[in-house]
Amino acid sequence: MQSVVVVLCILVISLTAFSGFTYEPSEQIQRNLNALQMSAEQDYDLSLLPEIRSLREQARAQGNKPLQIKALLLEGSIVQHFGDFEDGLDLHQQALQLAEADNNNLLKANTYLAIAHLDIDLESYELAQRYLDKASLLAEKIDDNTQIKADISLWQSRLNMDKGAYRLALKSSLVPEVSGIRQETLAQLKLTRSWAHLQLGEYMQAKRILDELESSGYSVQNQRMRIISAVQHARVALQSGDFATAIDLAQVGLRDTLGTRFLLFQSQLQWILASAYAQLGDYQQAHRYLKRYAVTEQSLNLQKRNNKLLKLEAQYSLAQQKQALNKLERDNAQQAKQIMAHQQQIENARLSQQRWLLIALLAFTLALVFYWRWQNRRYTKLLESQVAQRTEELAERNKRLQTLSFTDSLTGLNNRHHFFSVIDGTIEVYKHRWKAPEVQQNSDLIFVIIDIDHFKNINDSFGHAAGDIVLQDFAEILKQCTRESDILVRWGGEEFLLVMPDMDRSVAHEVTERIRRQVESYPFVVNDQTINCTCSIGFAPFPFDPTQPDKLSWEHVLELADGGLYLAKESHRNAWVGVHTGDEEVQSPAEHMVQNLRAYLQAGKLKTWSNLSDLI
């Protein structure tokens, strides 16, 4: 009776608290959500979030799960766009739980697509493919599945594009144009297909698709795809030789990217402008945009370095464990209440029943307590086993993810992430060595930068696929010419970084010469045709000045090695240049030395090792 009174009181308080709220009909909420969806596709405005949350709360109050799910997915897509992947994943998971409870295949499929989108942004391609496969299986169970299948094809083609599988992207983006598919989806599929053609160097096919889309008169709503369209138009003009048009289109597209998070497309447009100005002979403008391109690429690398994927998966797994523990506590509390109720019944019966009945009831109570303790221990052991298993799975998954994040997918070499994760520790080891009473021989750390000569000509002449083959073979040559203790990294594009520990600076040139000869003599086979490649190499030792080991940081030494690379390319190519201290101690600041390398070399304050006799 007391429980009934408590429930009634709670209902009265709830009705009183919410009596000031008015809720719109479900049809109006649906129309408002559709309007917000269109607005979000255009510019992902954060000011839309309060209205979306208000509509979600109204849908929840009305018990309308489909509208709740749509609001959750829309909110998740907006916060995900601004880099808040943690909240985005949480919102998508809430939507998935509601869709599973409602047993709505269409909403579940849309939720899987949203999670796949998030995994693509985080470069977790295996997980993204898994959710796309789940969505495809659900789509087969839906009667009117034309639109959802088109959406799956769109995200499958985008996943293939991000993975570099451009032929697969072309195949997955081919969808029959039937009446049940939104014009926006068809337009985005066409843009994805033309994008794939451009990546394969087939600019005529890309131009035909773009012209067809333009002639249809349809304006793409999605902000990301509009910017991709601008990039594609500019690239088509560049590849067709219309450099002035390429400049105009790229500048318009670049203005559209200002204030957005699309750094990748900013860098592509800056590269197009630099290339077009260079082709027109305006090298000042070309250099200007090339510098901007380098800054944007650096920002992109930092953005990828701060990837939150490991943190999100760990938090999500811990949240599942916390839910299981909370459930166990609730079960224990419920069982404790039941025992207390039984004990109270026994106490009340003691006054009215015979002694033998009391003893029987007490025995029953004791048996029940022992049984409960036995059940509780068994359940606790089972839970501990599950937690241990999940912890082991999480550790294995984190290990695999770390391996993926530290490895270049094309060459199999380590990437910048790996380099930045180990270089500080390596430098600390060398600093301890300098403080030792006697510095051992072969105690230098050699920084080497290697660049493939005329690599752009290979891409332009044979295609990007051929360029990928050259990069893979080049990486194998570097592996053969280096030691297991060396740090070998794909630094970016056709540039590689080699850090050689425990090597005397006076013999480092032997390694660079061996690499140069191996590359020069190696037959690179692309498209059933053998081509010859050369490389240019710059290197510098660390510490740069053994008498002043703390004067130049490893970053300064890396810049000096890059300066040596520049001298090798400027002088001859197919060459190596090492920079080292002269006979006299240099008192100038490190930054001044790095920025004025040529002047220091000409003055004899710094010296070089090189296979070129007429270097300076």
pLDDT of residue 555: 92
Same domain, 291 and 332: no
* Predicted local confidence at residue 32, as pLDDT: 76
Residue 75 lies in a domain: no
| CATH assignment of the domain containing 299 | 1.25.40.10
3-class secondary structure, 524: strand
Count up the domains in the chain and report the number. 3
Alpha carbons 234 and 246: distance in angstroms, whole number = 5
pLDDT at 101 > cutoff 90: no
The two tokens of residue 595 are: 């920025």
For position 9, what pLDDT does the model report?
40
What are the percentages of helix, strand and coil residues in the chain, rounded to 5? Answer: 70, 10, 20
Q: Does 126 fall in a domain?
A: no
pLDDT exceeds 60 at position 23: no
pLDDT for 392-417, tens place per residue?
A: 767 676 566 555 567 888 888 999 89
Q: What is the DSSP string of 423-457?
A: HHHHHHHHHHHHTSSSPPTT-EEEEEEEEETTHHH
Residue 188 lies in a domain: no
Q: Give the domain extent around 340.
A: 309-401
Q: Which residues pair with 606 in a beta bridge?
A: 581
| 560 plus 440 within the same structural domain | yes
The strand pair at 487-492 and 606-610 is best described as unpaired
Instruction: Specify whether 526 is located in the same domain as 441.
Output: yes
* Residue percentage of the chain with pLDDT more than 70: 84
Question: Which of 305, 332, 351 is where one domain is finished?
Answer: 305
- Is 330 inside any structural domain? yes
Q: Which residue(s) pair with 544 in the sheet?
A: none
pTM score = 0.45
The last residue of one of the domains, among 250, 277, 305, is 305
Q: Are residues 353 and 447 in the same domain?
A: no
- pLDDT tens per residue, range 425-475: 888 888 887 776 565 556 789 999 999 999 999 999 888 899 999 999 999
Both 440 and 520 in one domain: the answer is: yes
81 in a domain, yes or no?
no
Are 526 and 605 in a shared domain?
Answer: yes
Q: What is the average per-residue pLDDT within 221-248?
A: 81
- Let me know if residue 117 belongs to a domain: no
CA-nearest of 581, 484, 477, 606 to 537 is 477
Helices 203-215 + 183-199 axis angle, to 10: 160
> Does 299 share its domain with 342?
no
Please state, in angstroms and rounded to a whole number, the distance separating the CA atoms of residues 613 and 417: 37
Same domain, 394 and 533: no
Residues 594 and 493 in one domain: yes
In a shared domain, residues 449 and 511: yes
Torsion of CA 333, 336, 338, 339, to 10 degrees: 180
| Cβ 82 vs Cβ 120: under 8 Å | no
425 burial level (CB within 10 Å; 0-12, 13-18, 19+): exposed
C-alpha pair distances (Å), 185 with each of 199, 205, 218, 460, 596: 21, 20, 11, 32, 54
Query: In the listed set 401, 426, 454, which residue is the last one of a domain according to the structure?
Result: 401
